[in-house]
Structure 1
Amino acid sequence: MIDPQRVAKARPDSAGEDIAWPAEDVIILRNRPIRIGTPASRMSRYADEVWHIQPAHRDAHAAIPAVWWPTFPDALRQHFRAFFLAALDHPVPVEPNGRQSPNEQASIGTFPYWIIDMRVIARWLSDQGFENLSDVRNHDVDAFRTYVLRLDRTDGRKADLIGAVRVLWLFRDHLPAEGRLGCDFPWPGQTANEVVGATVRKRRENKTPRISDATMEALLAWVLGMVEQIGPDIRNAWREYQQLEAGEHPSQTKYTGTTQQRFLTHIEHCTENDIALPGQVGEHGLEFAGNHVLRLVGVRKDLRSGLTPGHKRLFALSGLPISPVASVGEIAGRVNGKPWRPTPIDVSELPMMVRLLSAALFTAICYLSGMRPGEVLNLRRGCRTHDDETGELQVIGHRGKGFDRAPDSPDLTEPLRPWVVVDAVHAAIELAESLHDLPLLFPSSIVSAHHERPSGANARKGTAMNNDIQDLISWINSEFRRADGADAIPADPAGRINATRFRRTLARFIVRRPRGLIAAALQYGHVDTKVTLSYAGNEDPSWLQDVAVEKLELIIDQIEEDTRLLEDGEHVSGPSAQEYRDRVTQSAPFAGRVVTGVRNAERLLEQADPAVHHGQGMTCVWRAATAACRKAKLALGLPGADAPDETDCRSTCANLAYTDRDITELQQELVQLQADAADPLAPQPRRDRAAAQAAQHLAIIERHRDSATEDGRGIT
């Protein structure tokens, strides 16, 4: 293992002096923080034909491709080696016109794109007969521009190639004389897009498709079922299997001596306890699973070479029946009141079940927290916590975006940030932690990781997790059907379910639920404040921007609905009835506006929002000065809210209004309350409380009817 702190810190000479070609044994990541636990085999040196740069990347789930130097032309290979070493060592130099921010090292995630572009440049130069970059002149880079313009590529890719030439020129002061482009700064005064004549499009609305309600609600329900019912059975079976594999299961203590003696003990045990021998379905039907018996009786893994003919005859003469599965664990979880499967899990399907469970846990955490997929994939054991002051549940991890992110190293650790979550997220994390003993919650593979990406230091790739989620949906639909025969999780109209779609879907789901505006205003306003305070100015507002866009859409729809109902004769009563009518009427003329950015949506939201919140059996026409819920908080010494708190709503509040829709809801509740008040089996305090609530509902309903206008507006 190489200690990054002991790696030589030799840097190229300062600009303007003669710079020698780097030594062959120079470690290429000498000036980059290296991920803790990186093996020596991944610490590439300058002369290596393959450069591994992934150890310098922050994210454990990212698969950063290596640099394969044989793909570069021989004559210029040394020149581009020197360039990439300089780019790893130094910040990107400032362009002559000063447009670029100084002192920012290129992210490791940028290098794969540079490699592709630099390879195109190197091959073109080689085809033109160049053996040194210093021989390239102004007319040569103009010829390369002509070559790029003729390529059958998008304007964006052409602009990338132009930008790559400029980057190569910018590092000239860190390169040997032969490796410096011998031209002036290419195409000064023009952007790369202008050089290729590309049309620059303004940033548009987030086009990531939301997952439909029918699909997401069903997926979430089954994911939570996996966490609560199915998952513990899979976890327990996996633990038992691991113990059996290692010869550490308590049931194996009775097996001693030779393999023959262990088999005799097992036959005796099965006979006394009426247990069938493990089986499997083979080419000739049901067969005896000899390898699993070897596992059960504690034979070491390296000695399990199958059963001898004598051993097979021994079991055949035992007269014991053969089970259709070689099972581990038990089925204790229930779905719809029944065991979720009729037989225990077979060892052959256990790896697949573990992978699907991991996908379910990831889905629960990613969707319910609003975190980016990469942020979830990089969560580590022990990430559950809570706020000591408020008691809120939290998850701590690392931010998933930013050029300045670097992997933890012995002398550098990036600050953690919190996410406020619900208890289901903590339950999913707890189950993930109990599924294995690896440091990452979602390692590259729980069952069998590739040697290039060992599970101890690498997380599951995003593409692999997306495939796992799709496999989870397919498995649920194949094993559990609806009563009408339809899929348990219906297909989404927008296509394949990817983790990147969860954040937008959650924003819509919360805001579009009944009383969603109140929930969003309370929960996400609080999260916004907490992120700002906890993250010291480096907050990530993108999730809240999604909420803002969804909220804007809902408010526009709500204004249209409220206006239509008022025009159709809906009656409104209560102390804020006239204020409700005025706000809806003033907001009604809104005819829509093109929104090209999230900030535009936020500004439009401030202008269009009438601050009318439809709650359960009531409508709050929000005014902070007269809000009873806010006054109650202030009286207790708590901070006053900027949005209604329906859980602390007071019937005497001056902000209340009642529409016909609210009255209909109250009438439905009144029937149940009157039944509860007359229930002879209910405790007297419960009956008294129901009677008081029923009387309150009835008074509101009667006042609403009495205040209806003579022309028949409202409920009759």
Structure 2
Amino acid sequence: MSTALAPAFDGRSAVFAGADICDEAGLALPDNAAHPAFEDDTWDFTHVIGLPTQLSPSMRRFDFTQITDSRWRLVAKELVLAMLAPRHQSVAPLPRAFRNPLHVTSCRARLDELVRFFTWLGERATISLQQINTRDCEAYLAHRRYVLDEHGAVVGEQSHGTRRSAAQVVVDLVNYRDLFTADRVPAELRPWGGATASAVAEMPSGRTENKTQPVSDEIMQPMLTAALYLMSTLGPHAVDLAHKIRESDLHSARRAQGIRRVGPKNRVPVRELSESLAEYTRTCTALPMLDDHYISKRLAQGWAEDDPLLPVAMGTLARRAGLSQFCHPWLPTMRPALEDALAQVGVERPFGRDADPVPAVDGTSSLPWTLPLSRPQAVALVGIVRTAAIITAAAISGMRASELMELRIGCRRPPDETVPGLTRYRIASKIVKGQPLGGTADEWVVIAPVYRAIELLEQLHDAPAEEALLIGRFSFNVRFKWFKSWANSGAGQRLGLAPIPEGPVNLRMLRRTLSLEMAYRPGGVLATKIHMKHIAVATTEGYASRPGGAQAELLAEVNKHESERNLQLVLEEFRNYQEGVLPAGPGARSLTEFFAGIDAQLDAASATAPKTQRNDRDVLNLLTKRANVLHLGPANYCWFTDPSRALCLKLAGTPTADRPLIGMCDSARCPQATHHPGHRPVWAEHADRTKIFIGQLGTTRKTERTRLQADYDRALRVVAEIDAASATTDEESA
């Protein structure tokens, strides 16, 4: 690296003077959009084609005026453009420069950290980057590492990412030193011995468990129950309500067509207002009511609490009469007519009157789907239902925030019914994370509730033009806060919704929760009315449809947790074997022999080393191979050791497949299936239900009776086998 000092500063860059930022960085703009120039103190990328929807407008504007020193401002511009355009003829020769262009989002983060660093230097009376030494670098890292209270005492540490950003800004100034025109760090500066920013920040780099915690069951269950109820039961009514709100706005807004501005306030439009009131009384329609905060405002202005006209929305009455507003000086003249109409039809909030009945959450009763609402309340309720659809789509599909924000009108692909009764639902979006500018188009295989949630969002869209953003940029944290408040309020309790407890919920946690549910509950329930097996089959197809893609991360995590779960299950069954609790079923003998072999190995090891205790880790090492072939069925364990012996593959005609077809499993006959005490309730319930069906059959339905009787006998036989194994154990214990 050259050790020459920077040339004399004349206010211009020696390498980027007059450069078009977007042309140098390869960023596309519409034909009529302004191109930011290097000399501009604000680079506006608002209209760059392909930027993710998730990127807010403020993050698309690079404001260099926050750096007060003009030399350092030029350094920041040169560094940011070098990262956007690494193939520039002056950047490419730098030995430690980035070889691939950084995303606009990453460059904005680098600029924010540069602003902090230069501000910190200014506070320390540093006038040139040449004065920086290793102690300054370490001091800045410590400054960004610790969280201080108002007294300057350390109360915590920043995240690894914050520490890495602090170290990276210094490393960048070193790596791009020869590029800078106005000021440079010393040539001999090697902070932290040349270590990378990630090493300096002690980044975990995936070596530890995912730090994002799943949503607790205490929150997940009532949240998803409320979301599904609102989406399925209140959704159609909310669509109708949204339509009525838009229709009302067309006629009642101040700037609606046909609305005229009022003339002199001392001229009362008696005829227009009287005709409007007559229409209310003729149709027996209650006068519109004000929202509560407007009533409070009237009281503050001096209205009497017992004034019968206090809750009447005068402005709405005026706009119904074709006037832009109701002027207060008109009230004495119009009061008799207003009070007469009020006495005849009363006053009520305008939306949700005579609401249709819907079943309550528990299904035991029905009640109006909503109470009468003012316009703000109606808009809020539509927003709550929209949030319910977003929660449903996020929690069950596992899509990232960026992927949800890229959804567009028409993203639902036509359902594909491959065989009768089996329908595949797909939605199209873009993968943004880790992809080039513009993202990569992809499709997600989802289950029916997600598909219906997307459909509901399309119906609730204010302007559902083809390819318009379906949700757009949104804050899930804010939306969930409103959703929880509504569910816990009187409106939600009236419908029978369970309160949602306090606790953190965000899209990353929902994604993490789905991965764990898929791994640990392949035959269980994710939430009310959503069967886990459906999610495991359909959603996993979505993640596996493009191996190695961005969706593979979640599938890898699912596989990891599934392996851990299988190991624990095998260990539990081995411990049961040691205690005399034996498996049942066609594959019981093979499994028992395997456990006997493991037990013999442990006994032999203990004999040679009598002082050594064999712990669970040692046992798991011996059980790992068998755990890798364990597959969970709804009422059995499948030990898929030999595909040629798998009954399901024989029935399907695919004897060489590498996985069993759990949906076709006949565990009472398959030689690789076992039954355990935990499966007994499933078989017992199946036997009880089959017995009921047999009792309901008529005398002429002999074929169905014969088939059901065989099924019933099989279930009883399995239950008896499980009980026999348990009884043997009890007798031996006695």
Scaled to the shorter chain, the TM-score interval is 0.7 to 0.9
For residue 696 of structure 1, what is the amino acid of its counterpart?
R
The gaps in structure 1 that reach 5 residues or longer are: 1-17, 408-413, 444-455, 595-600
Separation in structure 2 between the aligned mates of residue 331 and residue 347 of structure 1, nearest angstrom: 15
User: Residue 314 of structure 1 is aligned with which of 311, 334, 337?
Assistant: 337
**Cα gap change, 1:208/1:151 in structure 2, threshold over 3 Å: closer, same or farther?**
closer
Whether the 8 Å contact between 1:213 and 1:509 is mirrored in structure 2 is no
Instruction: Say if 2:280 is the partner of 1:275.
Output: no
Aligned equivalent of 1:675: 692
Query: How big is each residue's C-alpha offset from its partner over 1:12-64, in whole Å with a ceiling of 9 and x where there is no partner?
Result: xxxxxx9647567x6543445668779958x6444444333455573212335
Give the partner amino acid of 1:505: T
Per the alignment, do residues 247 and 675 of structure 1 end up closer, same or farther by CA in structure 2, a change over 3 Å counting?
A: same
- Residue pairs, 1:173-252, within 5 angstroms: 175=180, 177-178=181-182, 183=187, 186-187=190-191, 190-192=194-196, 199=202, 201=204, 203-247=207-251
TM-score normalised by length of structure 1 = 0.76
Do the aligned partners of residues 34 and 671 (structure 1) sit closer, same or farther apart at CA in structure 2, a change above 3 Å counting? same
% of aligned pairs identical? 18
Query: Aligned to 1:398, what secondary structure does the other structure show?
Result: strand
Q: 3-state SS of the aligned residue for 1:538? A: coil
Any idea what the Cα deviations from partners look like across 1:239-286, whole Å, max 9, x if unmatched? 21112212399xx99999997666445434433333211113423375
Correspondent of 1:68 among 57, 63, 72 = 63
Amino acid at match of 2:62: V
Residue identity matched to 1:626: R
Residue 431, structure 1, aligned to residue 456, structure 2? yes
Whether the aligned pair in 2 keeps the contact of 1:366 and 1:499 (CA below 8 Å) is: yes
In structure 2, the partner of 1:511 is 519
Q: 1:647 to 1:33 in 2, by over 3 A?
A: farther
Mapping for residues 608-647 of structure 1, pairs under 5 Å:
609-623=627-641, 624-634=643-653, 640=657, 642-647=659-664
State the superposition RMSD in angstroms.
4.6
Q: Does 1:304 align with 2:312?
A: no
**Which residue in the other structure is 1:13 paired with?**
none
The aligned residue for residue 80 of structure 1 is 76
Cα distance, 1:482–1:187 mapped onto 2, change above 3 Å: closer
**1:566 maps onto 2:574 in alignment:** no
Q: Out of 385, 399, 407, which is 2:431 matched to?
A: 399
The answer to whether the 8 Å contact 1:511/1:520 transfers is no
SS of the counterpart of 2:74? helix
Q: Name the residue aligned to 2:51.
A: 58
Q: CA deviation at 1:96?
A: 6.8
Residues 338 and 371 of structure 1: CA distance in aligned 2, closer, same or farther (over 3 Å): same
- Cα displacement string for residues 446-499 of structure 1 (whole angstroms, at most 9, x for unaligned residues): xxxxxxxxxx799334xx22121122112111136779x99714426xx22222
What amino acid is aligned across from residue 394 of structure 1 in structure 2? R
Q: Give the superposition deviation at 1:370.
A: 1.2
Aligned to 1:578: 589
Distance 1:278 1:354 in 2: 20
Once the two structures are overlaid, the 10-residue window that deviates more, 391-400 or 505-514, is 505-514
Secondary structure, in 3 states, of the residue corresponding to 1:67?
A: strand
Query: Residues 36 and 375 from structure 1, CA distance in 2 versus in 1: closer, same or farther, beyond 3 angstroms?
Result: farther
Of 496-505 and 210-219, deviating more is 210-219
Amino acid at match of 2:173: L
Determine the C-alpha separation between the residues in 1 that align with 2:372 and 2:198: 65
Q: Distance in 1 between matches of 2:327 and 2:375?
A: 16
Structure 1 Cα separation of the partners of residues 334 and 616 of structure 2: 80
CA distance in 1, matches of 2:492, 2:285: 31
CA distance in 1, matches of 2:124, 2:729: 89
Alignment counterpart, residue 160 of structure 1, candidates 142, 159, 165:
165
Structure 1 pair 612/140, CA: closer, same or farther in 2 (3 Å)?
Answer: closer
Partner in structure 2 of residue 368 of structure 1: 396
Partners of 2:127 and 2:397 in 1: CA distance: 54
Partners of 2:428 and 2:444 within 8 A in 1:
yes
1:122 aligned onto 2:118: yes
Return the alpha-carbon distance in structure 2 between the equivalents of residues 313 and 604 of structure 1.
92
Distance in structure 2 (CA, Å) of the matches to 1:225 and 1:89: 51
Indicate if the aligned counterparts of 1:575 and 1:656 stay in contact, CA closer than 8 A. Answer: yes
SS of the residue aligned with 2:454?
helix
Aligned ranges 1:6-45 → 2 under 5 Å: 20=14, 27-32=20-25, 40=33, 44-45=36-37
| Structure 1 residue 379 corresponds to structure 2 residue 402 | no
Contact 1:633/1:640 (8 A) holds in 2: no
SS at match of 2:675: strand
Residue 106 of structure 2 corresponds to 110
Q: Tell me the TM-score normalized by structure 2.
A: 0.75
In the other structure, the counterpart of 1:6 is none
Secondary structure class of the residue paired with 1:393:
strand
Measure how far apart 1:210 and its partner are.
1.3
Q: Are the structure 2 counterparts of residues 486 and 313 from structure 1 closer, same or farther at C-alpha, using a change threshold of 3 Å?
A: closer
**Is the CA contact (8 Å cut-off) linking 2:67 and 2:118 kept in structure 1?**
yes
Measure the CA separation in 1 of the matches of 2:257 and 2:704.
Answer: 57
Per-residue CA deviations over 1:610-662 (Å, capped at 9, x if unaligned) read 53344344332224222222222226xx9946134234536432223233443
The separation in 1 between residues aligned to 2:134 and 2:321, in whole angstroms, is: 73
TM-aligned CA distance change 1:530 to 1:587, over 3 Å: farther
Q: 1:105 to 1:658 in 2, by over 3 A?
A: same
Aligned partner (choices 679, 682, 685) of residue 665 of structure 1: 682
Among candidates 693, 698, 711, match of residue 716 of structure 2: 698
Where does the alignment leave 5 or more consecutive residues of structure 2 unmatched? 1-11, 147-157, 263-268, 300-304, 525-531, 603-613
The equivalent of 1:654 in structure 2 is: 671
Change (3 A) 1:35 1:502: farther
Per the alignment, in what secondary structure is the counterpart of residue 426 of structure 2? strand
Equivalent in 86, 89, 94 of residue 90 of structure 1? 86
